[in-house]
Amino acid sequence: MLIDQGGSDVLSTAPEAHTSVRDLFRRGLVIPAHPLALDADRRLDERRQRALTRYYVAAGAGGLAVGVHTTQFAIHGTALLPPVLELAAETASETAREGREIVLVAGATGPTTQAVAEAELARSLGYHMVLLSPHRELDEDALIERARAVGEVLPVIGFYLQPAVGGRTLSRDFWTRLAAIESVVGIKVAPFDRYRTLDVLHGVVRAGRAEQVALYTGNDDHILADLITTHRVVVDGRQVEVEFVGGLLGQWAVWVKKAVELLDEAKLARAGDDAAVRRLLGLDGHLTDANAAIFDSANGFHGCIPGIHEILRRQGLLAGRWCLDPAEDLSPGQLAEIDRVWAAYPWLRDDDFVAEGLDRWLA
């Protein structure tokens, strides 16, 4: 495990760590977007926060994304951000005894000064990369300069976040310019929109960095189809193949053991296993239907974070659905939809795995 509690830049000061972490990330991982465990008083529940991290690592996740949308953007700019980042890094470091490396991704938000400061905090805690959320008050030129500034602290993962949960529409030219920045090592593509997804793919190819920029699906409505598809992007008469190598997802904050199995099968599918292709195409609709209930697509995704919490509560990992905002809870009818998909798709769940490890993770 490449955790540096002393605050040095792991990727720039240790060449062997640089190669290892970046190669792991480029190869493709399951990276859960880490939720925030709260108690009934809406205070950090450290015991359950650690249990979530232990669950993700035990389930085979190759990375963790902390301080991202699923963690609740409201922790940014508060005293809650440092301990939440530190708990995940510290708990993940327990896997060092097993010889595993976990890629740690910290979310950064806000204008340039804030984003750089959050990247510096993440670096001091041993994080390897920053998932840089879009900022609505900056134009595309300013967003590019912001990415350059953050990239001087830690490698950057760009983030196409859907507008319904705080994102914005960005041009194909923006993604070309972002991908051209040497410190950009990946892009999380999560507009929930095929046209905008193609803008990212074309931008990476236009920048000439299709081999260096790892594409991670965040399109929770199209996860498996993204992961099994080889896209042939034609730019200036050249045809370039690009693929989504892994997923950095709120949906993969739940049922993670199954998510790891699905990504393994998706890699077989991309390698030419037709049976795997057919199986995953059949499961794609099931996973999308389950996600629609959990993420509350019927109500503009208002209940997406409580929906994730509800799944984890049912498995015993969380004590409740509490969010920082008392008004943030399931939408009317959402619980019945979660009941429906829970019963309909038992093959997507990992209840037995969680039940077996829960006491150990909570200890």
Domain range annotation of the chain:
10-272
pLDDT for 96: 66
pLDDT for 14: 36
Distance CA 353, CA 56 (A): 11
Q: Tokens for 303, please give them.
A: 């209940």
Q: Tokens for 148, please give them.
A: 């350059």
pLDDT for 167: 85
pLDDT for 240: 95
Q: Tokens for 43, please give them.
A: 């205070």
pLDDT for 162: 87
Distance CA 89, CA 52 (A): 12
Distance CA 357, CA 363 (A): 10
pLDDT for 6: 35
Four-residue CA torsion sign, 14, 50, 52, 164: negative
pLDDT for 3: 32
pLDDT for 136: 85
pLDDT for 236: 87
pLDDT for 11: 43
Expressed in angstroms, the distance from the first to the final Cα of the chain is 21
Q: Structurally, what CATH architecture does the domain formed by 10-272 represent?
A: Alpha-Beta Barrel (3.20)
Phi and psi at residue 45, to the nearest 5°:
-100, 95
Residues in the chain where the model's pLDDT stays below 50: 1-19
pLDDT for 330: 98
Q: What is the pTM of this model?
A: 0.93
Q: Residue 136 is which amino acid?
A: R
pLDDT for 100: 85
Phi and psi at residue 241, to the nearest 5°:
-90, 130
Q: How far is CA 180 from the centre of its chain?
A: 22
